[in-house]
């Protein structure tokens, strides 16, 4: 199968089904797409008074995913990690481009890959606009576009002293899943094992929460490299410090009630939530006066959020136990070139 | 050097110098950039009444460039091939993202790479908005954004029977340069040799011409995979055929006057212009009634254009010699998975 055939078969035709320009009644479905896949550029008509949010992420085989990774799940995850950046900005998806290097034009791999990718795209009304296909070591590079009412983007730089610090969902589970996948941690309970594998392979971008937090959150980031490191980006961009309660982070996840894991030391359990990456949850800050509104945004977006600490003057993160005692920590963010 | 340090040193700081938000007099320089490099997303304020053009291209080492490729020139070319897609749409650049996999954080390579990349970005006022860096086989994935007044994008689908077919610049030189680089064709004349190497390593995206052709060209494409194949995309998108004069294509380039190359058969010379890729010139169609206006657009944009044939009813390309006799050809577009 040639390059143009495979684009046509697995991406262009299916995208046209999923993302028609017009509904059956003739009303505009995705009126912003003037020209989609199949020209030198995609042409998009932006809605008035909206700003654009743009983000790019690249996934490399052997680095971001294992060679035997299920292609449907890989398609899902490749887009999910990009949508997560839109979520962290409070943006609503508009579309994405996909550039990929493939070792071969393998229909048995491309069919489920494109299915997983486009299923998530359809769920979030985020049409595939175009891209590039070439031969090479399996590499997926996605750029996503979203829209935000002018001035309402959630940035990393707005956290203020006294703000609460929150995370969505459960942090640390994806990192434990990696240890399970690599065979470092055997898990006896098959339900727990599958839950963990789902958490690393099928992350759910928190788009509804991100949009619900516009006007409430003072700063936000998505958790890709680990809480301590990613929260550190908010702190340095905002010129503030943080106190984080380790127990509150651990308690975002119920997996520690499993008898096998409950037998671990607290320090070992805490490690996952504090420094584990790949969660694609949101960490954000909001004034303590807005706790009720934040809880409402969480309910409205069907997304659990947990308060894990607060912003203080100074810099860096002070880690505390449940009794307010300082805990030592030497946790840094994941860095592809310093491991 | 870590991932965040290298982004900071080679891309973020330099971009801020090249693309300040405000001029020294306080007026907006690139007012559309609300948030550039360093957050989850770049945030961009689009000008009113403009449509966006978006395109992604991926370059893989060993496939699109040789391992010993000069990093400054690679930085230039990686952005140039993307800007060429904006040129083909008639768009004006707004910015770009860069996702890259690097085998190592090598400052001696990154410094000239970022310099070549950002020099071309500055020349075309196309700021770096963000991106991603990871470890892996050297792979560069760029997404470019441009703007076009609503409804004025040049597409592939508008060619009409009777239209003239043009190409900009000289076609075929980049393909000959590849043969020189690979040692298949030794070139005696050192000036010619350097000219050819420059043509493949430092393509000049035809942005000024593309914008000048708005309202004149009925269809356009950039030449990346070879004239016959790329023109074929216009024909199939427009539902028409073409007559192309092989001599007119060859005569776009003066290299065939070089004594060494002039000794080659016409068939061998023609091959380069007709099926060679990597030129990043524009092929476009325009009504015969607009020849003067096309010539004016070419002068205004300081870009030579050459008429090479015309659109006819039917499908596919009839190749002719200077006397109007049909020439046999079996030339198809480059395809990464059918070589």
Distance of residue B235 Cα from the nearest chain A Cα, in angstroms = 12
Bridge-partner residues for B56, per DSSP? B143
pLDDT at B330: 59
Residues annotated within the binding site of A for substrate are 64, 278, 334
Rounded CA separation A283/A88 (Å) = 8
B310's tokens: 């015309």
Residue of A nearest to B37 (CA): A55
**Average pLDDT estimate for B17-27:** 58
Question: For residue B89, which residues of chain A lie inside 8 Å, CB to CB?
Answer: 39-41, 43
Answer whether B157 sits within 8 Å of A39, measured CB to CB.
yes
CA B210 centroid distance within chain: 11
Residue of B nearest to A282 (CA): B40
B333's tokens: 């577009």
How confident is the model over B117-175, as pLDDT tens digits?
A: 999 998 998 888 888 889 999 999 999 988 888 889 999 999 999 999 999 999 999 99
Does B336 contact A at CB distance below 8 Å? yes
Residue of A nearest to B334 (CA): A3
A and B: number of Cβ contacts within 8 A = 238
How confident is the model over B49-83, as pLDDT tens digits?
A: 778 889 999 999 988 888 888 999 999 999 999 99
The model's confidence at residue B339, banded by pLDDT at 50, 70 and 90, is low
Question: For residue A57, which residues of chain B lie inside 8 Å, CB to CB?
Answer: 99, 132
Report ipTM for this prediction.
0.84
Does A8 contact B at CB distance below 8 Å? no
The model's confidence at residue B29, banded by pLDDT at 50, 70 and 90, is very low
Does A111 contact B at CB distance below 8 Å? no
Domains along chain B? Answer: 3-149 (3.30.1330.10), 164-327 (3.90.650.10)
Rounded CA separation A268/A246 (Å) = 12
pLDDT at B4: 63
pLDDT at B45: 74
Rounded CA separation A18/A30 (Å) = 11
Who among B34, B141, B155 is closest to A141 (CB)? Answer: B141
Contact A264, A211 (CB under 8 A): no
A196's tokens: 């963990």
Between these two residues, B95 and B32, which has the higher pLDDT value? B95
How confident is the model over B94-124, as pLDDT tens digits?
A: 889 999 999 988 888 998 999 999 999 989 9
Q: Average model confidence (pLDDT) for chain B?
A: 88
Tens digits of pLDDT across chain A (339 residues): 676 677 677 777 777 777 665 555 555 544 466 676 777 788 877 666 778 889 999 999 988 888 888 999 999 999 999 999 999 999 999 889 999 999 988 888 998 999 999 999 989 988 888 888 899 999 999 999 888 888 899 999 999 999 999 999 999 999 999 999 999 999 989 999 999 999 999 999 999 999 999 999 999 999 998 999 999 999 999 999 999 999 999 999 999 999 999 999 998 999 999 998 899 999 999 999 999 999 999 999 999 999 999 999 999 999 998 888 888 876 555 555 655
Residue of A nearest to B339 (CA): A2
pLDDT at B107: 86
Residue B339 host element (H or E) = none
Among candidates B27, B28, B78, which has minimal Cα distance to B56? B78
The model's confidence at residue B31, banded by pLDDT at 50, 70 and 90, is very low
Helix ranges restricted to H, A127-265 = 173-181, 190-201, 207-212, 227-238, 246-250, 259-262
Rounded CA separation A310/A229 (Å) = 16
Rounded CA separation B339/B336 (Å) = 7
Who among B50, B105, B337 is closest to A135 (CB)? Answer: B337
Does B158 contact A at CB distance below 8 Å? no
Does A156 contact B at CB distance below 8 Å? yes
pLDDT at B5: 74
Q: B335 among the known binding-site residues?
A: no
pLDDT at A335: 58
Does B67 contact A at CB distance below 8 Å? no
Question: For residue A43, which residues of chain B lie inside 8 Å, CB to CB?
Answer: 51-54, 89, 148, 153, 155
How confident is the model over B172-214, as pLDDT tens digits?
A: 999 999 999 999 999 989 999 999 999 999 999 999 999 999 9
How confident is the model over B278-296, as pLDDT tens digits?
A: 999 999 999 999 999 999 9
Does A98 contact B at CB distance below 8 Å? yes
pLDDT at A286: 98
Rounded CA separation A154/A89 (Å) = 4
Task: Give Cβ neighbours of residue A103 (< 8 Å, ≥ 6 apart).
Answer: A135, A136, A137, A138
pLDDT at B62: 85
Question: For residue A9, which residues of chain B lie inside 8 Å, CB to CB?
Answer: none
Contact A147, A92 (CB under 8 A): yes
Picking from A40, A94, A130, A283 by the largest number of B CB atoms within 10 A of its own CB, the best residue to mutate is A40
B72's tokens: 């400054």
Instruction: For the sheet with A305-312, list strands across it.
Output: A219-222, A282-286, A164-168, A305-312, A241-245, A316-320, A326-327
């Amino acid at each position: 199968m040639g390059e143009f055939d495979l684009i046509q078969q697995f991406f262009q035709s299916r995208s046209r089904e999923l993302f028609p320009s017009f509904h059956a009644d003739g009303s505009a479905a995705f009126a912003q797409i003037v020209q989609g896949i199949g020209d030198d550029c995609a042409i998009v008509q932006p809605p008035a008074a909206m700003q654009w949010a743009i983000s790019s992420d690249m996934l490399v085989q052997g680095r971001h995913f294992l060679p035997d990774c299920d292609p449907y799940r890989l398609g899902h995850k490749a887009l999910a990690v990009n949508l997560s950046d839109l979520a962290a900005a409070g943006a609503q998806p508009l579309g994405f481009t996909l550039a990929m290097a493939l070792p071969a034009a393998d229909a048995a791999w491309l069919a489920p890959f494109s299915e997983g990718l486009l299923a998530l795209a359809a769920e979030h009304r985020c049409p595939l606009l175009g891209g590039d296909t070439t031969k090479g070591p399996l590499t997926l590079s996605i750029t996503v576009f979203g829209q935000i009412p002018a001035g309402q983007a959630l940035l990393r730089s707005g956290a203020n002293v006294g703000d609460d610090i929150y995370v969505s969902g459960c942090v640390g589970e994806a990192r434990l899943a990696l240890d399970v996948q690599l065979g470092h941690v055997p898990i006896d309970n098959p339900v727990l094992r599958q839950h963990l594998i789902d958490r690393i392979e099928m992350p759910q971008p928190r788009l509804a929460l991100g949009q619900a937090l516009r006007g409430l959150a003072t700063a936000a980031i998505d958790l890709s490299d680990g809480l301590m490191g990613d929260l550190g980006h908010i702190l340095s961009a905002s010129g503030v410090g943080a106190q984080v309660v380790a127990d509150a982070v651990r308690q975002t996840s119920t997996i520690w009630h499993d008898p096998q894991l409950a037998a671990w030391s607290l320090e070992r359990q805490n490690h996952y939530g504090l420094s584990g990456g790949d969660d694609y949850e949101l960490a954000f800050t909001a004034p303590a006066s807005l706790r009720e509104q934040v809880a409402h945004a969480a309910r409205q977006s069907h997304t659990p959020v947990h308060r894990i600490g607060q912003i203080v003057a100074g810099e860096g993160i002070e880690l505390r136990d449940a009794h307010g005692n300082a805990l030592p920590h030497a946790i840094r963010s994941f860095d592809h070139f310093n491991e």
